[in-house]
Amino acid sequence: MTSVPERSRIRLTGISSRAYEHPADRSALVALRKLTGFDTVLKQLSGLFPERALRLHVLAGSVKVSERQFPHIQEMVRDACYILDMDTVPEVYVVQTPLVNASAIGFKQPFIVIHTSLVNLCDPEELRAVVGHEVGHILSGHAVYRTMMFILIALAARIAWMPIGYFGLRAIIWGLEEWFRKSELSCDRAGLLAGQDIDASRRVLMKLAGGSWLQEMNAEAFREQAREYDAVPDLRDSLLKLLQLQGNTHPFAVVRFAELDHWYTSGAYQRILNGDYPRRDSDRGASVSEEIREAARAYQESWNRSADPLIGMLRGAAETVARAGGGLFDRFNNRNPPPDDQA
């Protein structure tokens, strides 16, 4: 597979998805991959999900991207796979809808669906970041776990009349939604790595909030807006922010903007371009307990940057949770060592 982008980009040979994943996302993925029997659970869930039917549905009601249909998107997908060194180029479909969105779904052969409203909203470099975002979801394996979450949400709706079962399942979904939101932050980074244009990635997030009126928006003003959202003056506002997250699978646009901006300015992005990143061939040796601790450290660092009054009351808790979570998984893993051939 070869690609010649319009401007020079650095190919990230053998890059592991751990390079760009948010620590909270990464720790969950590493843990899930190492849990004995989890593959069996996924297979059982995949039987409940009519993947063939969904693919047939999009094949019948949308446009399959190729060299002859939306060829510029096809080239962007191939380019993103080339930059992120992913051998398999996923199928992509463009569907007519006013809802601004894109998604990567499926178990065995994940594919990408892009809404026409998003294609219309973005210029070529912005769309390249969007495509890279979705390719990042597939490289991370998010498509599988996100599809699993959709199945659980549908199941929760069916058993809503059973309070005990519903609330237990709802608690799992809340946890999955928090992971889902962190996976979006991960793939905003993947989109930046694929496009290697920070201004385009910033513009996408601004347009998700304000639409196509980019001439009426300003990046620094949007950054200040993110700081205003973070530094609410009242504890009641902090609680309202938490409540507003329930049922949301995506962080709010100003939060995504601020998180991506921080990741870029911290030097993490440039270190990856310089070749300083984990490779896929080291994924099997990833430590779950260390990833859990790293996730807690990331929350701690994020909380230290935050001016939110509620977060100010909770500073220091992340390290305690990290030690407890890492130690618990260490004990569990020592009692239930996975087979030598299990990732």
Active site amino acids: 134
Residue 143: CA atoms inside 13 Å, Cβ hemisphere, count? Answer: 21
Task: Write the CB contacts of 91 (distance below 8 Å, at least 6 apart in sequence).
Answer: 64, 65, 109, 111, 112
Residue 55 burial (10 A CB sphere; 0-12, 13-18, 19+) = middle
Are residues 107 and 46 in contact, defined by beta-carbon separation less than 8 angstroms?
yes
Residue recorded with tokens 């049922």: 247
Q: Which of 316, 203, 175, 191 is nearest to 263 (CA)?
A: 191
Are residues 77 and 136 in contact, defined by beta-carbon separation less than 8 angstroms?
no
First-to-last alpha carbon distance for the chain, in angstroms, is 27
The dihedral of CA 74, 80, 86, 92: what is its sign?
Answer: negative
CA gap 39, 127 in Å, rounded: 34
For residue 247 the two structure tokens come to 């049922």
- The number of helix segments (H) and strand segments (E) in the chain equals 16, 4
For residue 116, the one-letter residue type is T
CA gap 146, 103 in Å, rounded: 10
Are residues 186 and 25 in contact, defined by beta-carbon separation less than 8 angstroms?
yes
CA gap 182, 227 in Å, rounded: 19
